[in-house]
């Protein structure tokens, strides 16, 4: 069993304008787009904390998705600006998860969760990369 670690309360909000291409004939966002928005917010939080994905990949690390969940309360529509808020949760030295809330003008539309694991050259890591640990964990290294 992996030891849970104390992590900094890292949160981030990405602001995304709904594009026409992301909607169906009724101007409602297609369900597959929410995963793309989750990824955009996740990419931003890593970059903003000094650990951009391209730097990890240059070292041979990847963080594949193990699971994704979404709960849809109300649809998002063309032209709206969605706020994709995420926070780091349920973490240990190998796995990490983010919780998401998508809001429009403060109204909750969707919640979600993604769980990831670090790999190096397509093999599971024994420990997360040092840069990740330093950026997200208070008791790292």
What are the E-state strand segments in 9-131? 11-17, 61-62, 65-72, 81-89, 95-104, 107-117, 119-120, 123-124
Task: Based on the residue annotation, tell me whether 54 is a catalytic residue of this protein.
Answer: no
What is the DSSP pairing of strand 61-62 with strand 107-117?
Answer: unpaired
Backbone torsion region of residue 101, taken as left when φ is above 0, otherwise alpha when ψ lies between -120 and 50, otherwise beta: beta
**CA–CA separation, 89 vs 11, rounded Å?**
10
Catalytic site positions: 24
């Amino acid at each position: 069993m992996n030891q849970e670690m104390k992590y900094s309360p890292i949160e981030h909000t990405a602001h995304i304008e709904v594009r026409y291409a992301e909607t169906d004939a009724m101007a409602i966002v297609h369900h597959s787009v929410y995963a793309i928005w989750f990824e955009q917010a996740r990419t931003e939080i890593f970059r903003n904390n000094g650990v951009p994905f391209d730097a990890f990949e240059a070292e041979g690390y990847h963080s594949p998705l193990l699971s994704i969940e979404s709960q849809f309360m109300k649809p998002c529509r063309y032209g709206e600006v969605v706020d994709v808020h995420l926070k780091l949760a349920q973490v240990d030295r190998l796995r990490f998860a983010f919780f998401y809330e998508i809001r429009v003008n403060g109204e909750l539309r969707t919640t979600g969760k993604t769980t990831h694991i670090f790999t190096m050259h397509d093999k599971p890591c024994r420990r997360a990369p040092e840069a990740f640990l330093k950026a997200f964990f208070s008791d790292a290294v």
